[in-house]
Amino acid sequence: MKKVFIVLASLIAVVIAGLVIIATVDFNRLGKNYVYVQIAGDGEVEKYTASNGEVLEMYWYKQPAYKENGEAINVEFSATKNLRHDAYLKLYVKNGNEVTSYDEVTFDELPEKVKEKL
Residue ranges per domain, the chain? 1-28, 33-117
Predicted confidence band of residue 24 (pLDDT cuts 50, 70, 90): low
Q: What is the pLDDT of residues 62-107, one digit of tens each?
A: 988 888 888 888 888 888 888 888 889 998 888 877 788 888 888 8
| Cα–Cα dist 110/90, whole Å | 9
Superfamily of domain 33-117: Protein of unknown function DUF1093 (2.40.50.480)
Predicted confidence band of residue 53 (pLDDT cuts 50, 70, 90): confident
Does pLDDT of 32 surpass 80? Answer: no
Q: What's this model's pTM, rounded to 2 decimal places? A: 0.70
